[in-house]
Structure 1
Amino acid sequence: MAACTTTLTLPSFFVVVVGALLFIEIVTCLSSTARSINGGFSVQLIHLDSPKSPLYDRKSLNPNTPQADVNANKGQYLMKISVGTPPFDFYGIADTGSDLIWAQCVPCDGCYNQTKPMFNPTNSSTYIPIPCGSQQCHLLDTAACSPENTCNYTYGYEAGLTQGLLATETVTLTSSSGQHISLQNIVFGCGHNNTGSFNEDEMGLVGLGSGPLSLVSQIGPLFGGRKFSHCLLPFHTDPRITSKLIFGSDSEVSGDGVVSTSLVSKQDPTPYFVTLEGISVGQEYVSFNSSGLVSKGNMFLDSGTPPTILPQDFYDRLVEEVKNQVDLKPVEDDERLEPQLCYKSETILEGPMLTVHFEGGATLQLTPLQTFIPPLEGVFCFAMTNTDSDVGVYGSFAQSNFLIGFDIETMVVSFKPADCTKQ
């Protein structure tokens, strides 16, 4: 979920609400402080009602590795952290495409429906509004002074908009040994006006980008550097199954099958840009650009955007090759599914294997489980869509069942095939 430069159009079942096949405009607005703790910082990816299940061998984790629950929910991944004193449980979208950490807060002048209670800053003894003249306030381009001299913010997403007050708060996590770890003075947005296609389980958002306000950047110095890894569960995974997201020195992705590619620095510090050279459909290679020339940083990795979004020309050529290799007739008589490439099948679609080719020789094999998503019973749609932009998005559907490690210190991202449901 990137936080504003390009307008994308895709079906809403690819965004937040699975099965709602209405089209929406998606605007991609690409836009530390405590004692040192050895080890890494881990965040557990779970469904709302799931029992805990380890992703890594706990014997290999430093006992000071903090953990937090995260919920897989309607195409998104909700990270559970505790905010404030006393701790208030908060489920926010785990989003590598943005930076700001924010929650819906009382009073809420214009908020979307939320099932769980909203965060009330007056109940927290550690909630401190940030003055508008502070350096922290100016880390956000859209911040402005309120009449009370506090720092107001506006932050936009493809799924909506949040407006509110920047503050510092205490974030509490649980270590791998079961101990509570409190992180003080984390910059946090208290959203008093939040609109868009957020669902009722999403209490806000946890930015995991590489900009200065993200959770990764704020806690990185405490846990061995700005590093983290995640293993995203496939779409429609049993809600009782869990996975983890780990930050810091314990997040290194290693072992057999690991491939790596470089992260590309651009003017916007938030997104994790990589260079995609092409995608093979079976044995047929489809280059990113018809000319064969590839620009550095032509895609970014985004856990907050479910589909992979490709420039129009590349998408058209890729879809044509997929059609050539699927021995079924595409659905052409259902307005709910157009213009996506969809097929009717009583079982999981037996589509071709896709191989993603990143710069540096890193190749990832994607199965139909990662490339065809069932928005309706008996219907499977290609989990990629198009944009008029020349920069695309590598979404969470394609990232599922890979252990992916981001190392901002060395500017490398690593991938390792994994069954995230059995870790």
Structure 2
Amino acid sequence: MEGLSLLILFLVLLAGEKVNCSEIYLPDFGGGRPLAPIVLPLDLSSANHTLRSAEESHLRRRGLRDGDHSTHNALMPLFDNLLTNGYYTTRLYIGTPPQEFALIVDSGSTVTYVPCSSCVQCGIHQDPRFRPEHSSTYEPVKCNINCNCDKKKMQCTYERQYAEMSSSSGLLAQEVISFGKESELMPQRAIFGCENSESGDLFNQHADGIIGLGRGQLSIVDQLVKKGAISDSFSLCYGGMDIGGGAMVLGGIPLPPGMVFSHSDPARSPYYNIELKDIHVAGKSLHLNPRIFDGKHGTVLDSGTTYAYLPQEAFIAFKDALTSKLGTLQKVNGPDPNYKDICFAGAGRDPSKFFPEVDMVLENGKTLKLAPENYLFRHSKIDGAYCLGVFQNGNDPTTLLGGIIVRNTLVTYDRQNGRIGFWKTNCSELWNRLHIDKNKSEKPPPSPTSTNLTTELAPAFPPNGSKYNFLPGQIQIGIITFDMFLNLTYSALLPHSKELEELIAHDLDVKSYQVHLMRLTSQGNGTLIKLAIFPADTSDFISNTTAMGIIARITEHRFRLPETFGSYEVVHWNFEPPLRRSWWQRHLWAVGLGISVVVMLSFTTFLVWYLWRHKSSASQAAYRPVDAVVPEQEMQPL
């Protein structure tokens, strides 16, 4: 009967009908401690192209889709920013033993899915495909008259289509899903999609798949709540414009004082909505009818969307009000000629000195304050230039708020109480303020699909040699080194070594002169190379934030090389502390320069003196008597 109820649920969801969750029974697959929230990392995966217009694929899911607190948390750091990365991902582990995946965090999707080993149309993604045959706990959801069925495999199926015409389809299965060793919640059995076909941006993206946080019985949140594993809440915290960082919490957390809440009505829309009433620019209202923010699906908060999209009238009013406050800033073209971005130059490194504060006015006059980083993105080609990260939502009257709006904001989706809370904070430092323990390892044992190459992903930290996979604040990093195996022969790689340095520097977001190819070693049909990342400019060390970002990209294979370089595998990384140089060592160049100047001045002085003396001697000789004897030995050579 439990299986029948579940399959009826699948059919109803796939048919797009509304479901009364209280009337659907989702069986408990065992395991877990009740009400323990899970904190997951949100890694920023590189997008394949510049993300801009509401009509283009950067809004991967811009169209709307179908779709007691605990202190036990798991912490994983975040890196990068929304300008260079189109979506946040988190690491999820599926199967026994666990197979690891990078999944896009999407509050607008309900199904969690990853590419299956049997996929006939799947792109090349960050991790190997899921292999059911390697898991001892894989269990298909068997066909029933109440679900869409793959008649060959006699297994229930799912299918999802998105607004930009990408799609995903595959088989539904039950598996053990774990969230890393930071979580005190035991691994849970849950329903997920084993993907057999994907198209559009889903095919081209670097991330493996999607973790669905939306409303619906196939949502990972709904499944865990139904089992009593977590309370009916989750939170997201995205980092700022330059620093990045953040985390996701599945389950409740102690709500900080001063958090601003907005009512979120599941009956109003199947998506997470808030009640937006007005927008103020520099303290002045746009004087819009509040109903403009209530069109179609209302004002929707979507973590799977990068930017913000307003109805036409609201967008024009916002753009005009903002532009009128920019004074001497010069309007410039955007970084990509294919998009008509609204950009301004001349603001320097701190846009808050030139761009006004914006307030989103919620019900009862409560406000969510937006700093410039919450509505701007940095121009990638002009220093000191910024572009508007708010666009017109085509002809759609829905107001759609993506990740840019909630940079450095803890957002709590308090589903149990029908509200969404906002709290401005530094998401990179959030966990220190919430007193969350950070001294635990974050990864489960490696999956059987791991490469045979020896992988050492945690160097020893002084002074006690303990291994961590985060960088303690007191540690300074001088040089980061890593070994990488390229599936390209030594002779083919050697002529392109400089190009490889530049490509890696670009994807690691460092200057090209910071990347040095230290060694190339031929190994069979491939090449083992050793690279080093040095501090920028004249610095003695790399900042911890920058180092964490570099190491994350290296260890999680988040930089991409052209196909001409073949495939690659990072097999080892390490770092060295800054060289503790003496005063003489640090200023050796200056001392050397000073000595050189002194020597040159001394030589010049001597030469001038010598020529003067010779000239003087010659003059005296010209006035001597004719019969004067000048001994040969006293003659001065010219």
* TM-score interval, normalised by the smaller of the two chains: 0.7 to 0.9
Residue aligning to 2:403: 396
CA contact (8 A) 1:68 1:81 kept: no
The equivalent position to 1:93 in structure 2, one of 85, 96, 104, is 104
**Displacement, 1:72?**
5.8
Per-residue CA deviations over 1:263-287 (Å, capped at 9, x if unaligned) read 0223653x10112112111022125
Determine whether 1:172 maps to 2:178: yes
Determine whether 1:303 maps to 2:273: no
Inter-CA distance 153–411: structure 2 relative to 1 (3 Å threshold)? same
Moved over 6 A (4+): 68-71, 290-293
Residue aligning to 2:374: 370
Per-residue CA deviations over 1:25-77 (Å, capped at 9, x if unaligned) read xxxx999523452343223334479xxxxxxxxxx9634x4567777671311
**Displacement, 1:310?**
0.8
Determine whether 1:260 maps to 2:266: no
Which amino acid in 1 is paired with 2:392?
A: N
Identify the range of structure 1 (371-380 vs 281-290) with the bigger mean alpha-carbon deviation: 281-290
Inter-CA distance 372–171: structure 2 relative to 1 (3 Å threshold)? same
Q: Partners of 1:231 and 1:40 in 2: how far apart?
A: 19
**Displacement, 1:158?**
4.2
Larger radius of gyration, structure 1 or 2? 2
Q: Partners of 1:116 and 1:374 in 2: how far apart?
A: 30
Q: Over aligned residues, Cα RMSD in angstroms?
A: 3.0
Which amino acid in 1 is paired with 2:127?
A: K
Per-residue CA deviations over 1:284-336 (Å, capped at 9, x if unaligned) read 21255387785696111111101011111111111111111112232258762
Per-residue CA deviations over 1:72-119 (Å, capped at 9, x if unaligned) read 671311011100111011110011111110001112211122132111
Residue aligning to 2:358: 354
Q: Secondary structure at the match of 1:153?
A: strand
- What are the equivalent positions in structure 2 for 1:158-169 lying under 5 Å apart? 158=163, 160-169=166-175
**Displacement, 1:228?**
0.9
Residue aligning to 2:195: 191
Residue aligning to 2:343: 342
**Displacement, 1:218?**
0.7
Residue aligning to 2:71: 62
Q: Secondary structure at the match of 2:355?
A: coil
Q: Secondary structure at the match of 1:376?
A: coil
Using the size of structure 1 for normalisation, the TM-score is 0.79
The equivalent position to 2:33 in structure 1, one of 34, 37, 49, is 37
Residue aligning to 1:116: 127
The equivalent position to 2:154 in structure 1, one of 149, 152, 163, is 149
Q: Partners of 2:232 and 2:297 in 1: how far apart?
A: 20
Q: Partners of 1:353 and 1:167 in 2: how far apart?
A: 48
Q: Partners of 2:289 and 2:17 in 1: how far apart?
A: 23
Gaps of 5+ in 1: 1-28, 50-59, 138-142
* Residue correspondences, number: 370
More helix by share: 2
Q: Partners of 2:116 and 2:293 in 1: how far apart?
A: 48
Q: Partners of 2:150 and 2:121 in 1: how far apart?
A: 20
CA contact (8 A) 1:343 1:380 kept: yes
More strand by share: 1
Residue aligning to 1:383: 389
Residue aligning to 1:129: 140
**Displacement, 1:193?**
1.1
CA contact (8 A) 2:373 2:407 kept: no
Identify the range of structure 1 (318-327 vs 334-343) with the bigger mean alpha-carbon deviation: 334-343
CA contact (8 A) 1:263 1:413 kept: yes
Identify the range of structure 1 (164-173 vs 326-335) with the bigger mean alpha-carbon deviation: 326-335
CA contact (8 A) 1:70 1:78 kept: no
Per-residue CA deviations over 1:387-411 (Å, capped at 9, x if unaligned) read 1111121110011111111111111
Gaps of 5+ in 2: 1-15, 19-25, 46-68, 431-638
Q: Partners of 2:74 and 2:349 in 1: how far apart?
A: 40
Q: Secondary structure at the match of 2:101?
A: strand
Q: Partners of 2:112 and 2:80 in 1: how far apart?
A: 18
Residue aligning to 1:323: 323
CA contact (8 A) 1:232 1:402 kept: yes
Q: Partners of 2:167 and 2:282 in 1: how far apart?
A: 40
Using the size of structure 2 for normalisation, the TM-score is 0.53
**Displacement, 1:157?**
2.6
Residue aligning to 1:11: none
Q: Partners of 1:343 and 1:333 in 2: how far apart?
A: 9
Q: Partners of 2:234 and 2:242 in 1: how far apart?
A: 25
Inter-CA distance 308–287: structure 2 relative to 1 (3 Å threshold)? farther
Per-residue CA deviations over 1:183-213 (Å, capped at 9, x if unaligned) read 01x1100111112224553010001112211
